[in-house]
Amino acid sequence: MKFHHSVAIIFLLSDLLSQSFISDELPIGLTEEEKNNFHLIFEMGRNTDPAMAPVRNIAEYEKMSGVLIRYPFGISLDIIRELSEDVIVYCLVSASQQNSAFNSMSAANVNTNNVQFVVGPTDSYWTRDYGPWWVVDGNGNMSVVDFTYDRPRPNDNDAPFKISEFLDVPYYSVDIIHTGGNYMTDGYGISASSDLVYEENNWSNDALDSLMGLYYGVNTYHVLPDPNNTYIDHIDCWGKFLSPTKVLIREVPASHPQYNEIESVATYFSETLNNWGFPWEVFRVWTPNDQPYTNSLIVNNKVLVPIMNNAWDDEALEVYQTALPGYEVIGFTGTWESTDALHCRVKGIPDLEMLQLFHMPLPDTVSANDSQGYDLELVVDDLSGTGIIDDSVKVFWKNENTQSYNVNYLYLSDLPEEMNTYRGFIPVQAFGIIINYFLRAADSSGRVESNPIAGYHSFYAVPTDACNNWEIGDMDNSGQLDIYDILILADLIVYNNNLGVCCESVADINTDGVLSIIDIVTLVSLVASQ
């Protein structure tokens, strides 16, 4: 036993020594020598033809089979151990350091069965910035798509090609200088970056946008001035797509020098439409001291959040839990900075044969149709090519106040233009309630996937003709007009506090089509006369 303890100590010391080399490695910013050699970046590109259209760029919150890191590590062994429980940890490492990397992980109880080493030197640990991005091409193949790293660091720039060779997947590259930390995508053709991507390239803005469309399938590219005003100008330092309908933006006190700029980007996304034509649902995370809470990693049903051991950590974790119900949210300390944290140092590797489930979540409020209930549509595509198990396509739904889910089947459409489209419904409810639901499908490869990956979608279920028995002005449906109705109406008009669809349907007291103070005055008169 003493021998084993000694070995473990030696391995840990070895890891600590190897980590000490990090301080001697290249920084996240440009060195003075690199600034003088910036022109060398333009010689590192590998331009290829784009993949066969249509091209779909994989989002971070889609199904991942692994995470890319490098050695010496930029993240703690605690994080690596957590990752190895669920996915494969792909570790870029030089041949001479592979044994040291393995020993460090083993001594820390990392699940080394889920560790694969990709041999090759690297210059730094920011795999987010130089690692591969992924697309599904027109043939249904998962492929690496690459841009040129914006640092004159050839070893780092080679990483995407190394990964494509290691995993035996097609490789495509476009002659755009970019970084992964300054890029996020929704998986449906909408992407966002700071305007650093325009500044670092010789392309016109329109030409660059066109190339992003050809190689990444980007139909709408939101390129915004960086609100943080730091040297890095990366979008993951202030924002994050959480799902195809939700975005996270940092929040700072009004006294913060960048308050106006940060509020401007939050407003921008609140007024910008997602893939289905609805405004993004914007969540805010409090970062009074520039905490890097937006610099998190979503891995399937987990969210790993960089925390700082301060008073605002719990609030930050709660924001993620509220935005992503059903996900496991875990905080990790580390050598984090406002411009360099967890997200910067890891990169997701998608399931190469993922079972893709595409679904437009029902709006916040949904009225039932006359015959069945609340209509659902789900597009299912299996990259494995093994075929969908038809009776596996289901919707699970429940009242938010109950524990167990009900189940309904979805059925394949027979319309030629609706290939791989399944339709079904959630039954009509006798009264308005909040419904939580998720969809699930399986293919013959053994994959079983849900939409969303974890948790559920929600909507307020309005039954057919639910509001027909409500009288104008009776805001609480009590059967009489009184002071409570006046207070509810004032709350709705002045503060936009809405108690439900039916409440709003009887709020236009003077029936002029506009909710205003005049409706309050009119209701006061009606109550007084009554």
Q: Report how far residue 363's alpha carbon sits from residue 80's, in angstroms, rounded to the nearest whole number.
A: 38
Determine the residue type at 300: N
Residue 238 CA: distances (Å) to CA of 27, 220, 295, 323, 327: 21, 20, 8, 16, 21
Residue 385 in tokens: 């090519």
Could you tell me where the beta strands, DSSP code E, fall in 327-399? 328-332, 347-350, 355-358, 365-367, 373-382, 394-399
Q: Report how far residue 124's alpha carbon sits from residue 423's, in angstroms, rounded to the nearest whole number.
A: 48
Residue 459 in tokens: 């909507």
Q: Report how far residue 235's alpha carbon sits from residue 240's, in angstroms, rounded to the nearest whole number.
A: 8
Q: Say if residues 162 and 118 touch (Cβ distance below 8 Å).
A: yes
Q: Report how far residue 34's alpha carbon sits from residue 40's, in angstroms, rounded to the nearest whole number.
A: 9
Residue 221 CA: distances (Å) to CA of 131, 148, 184, 347: 21, 19, 10, 21
| Neighbouring C-beta atoms of residue 53, cutoff 10 Å | 11
Give the list of residues 6+ apart from residue 513 with CB closer than 8 angstroms, or none: none
Pairing of the two strands 246-251 and 433-442: unpaired
Give the list of residues 6+ apart from residue 476 with CB closer than 8 angstroms, or none: 484, 485, 488, 499, 503
| Residue 302: strand pairing partners | 299, 328
Q: Helix axis angle, 77-84 relative to 98-107, nearest 10°?
A: 80
Q: Report how far residue 19's alpha carbon sits from residue 74's, in angstroms, rounded to the nearest whole number.
A: 8
Radius of gyration of the chain from Cα atoms? 26
Residue 345 CA: distances (Å) to CA of 89, 248, 296, 366: 13, 19, 10, 41
Active site residue 91: no
Q: Which H helix or E strand runs over 489?
A: helix 483-495
Residue 349 in tokens: 């590797």
- Smallest Cα–Cα separation from 450: which of 307, 348, 344, 301? 301
Residue 89 in tokens: 């940890």
Of 237, 344, 502, 503, the active-site residue reads 344
Q: Report how far residue 194's alpha carbon sits from residue 418's, in angstroms, rounded to the nearest whole number.
A: 37
> Residues with catalytic annotation?
344
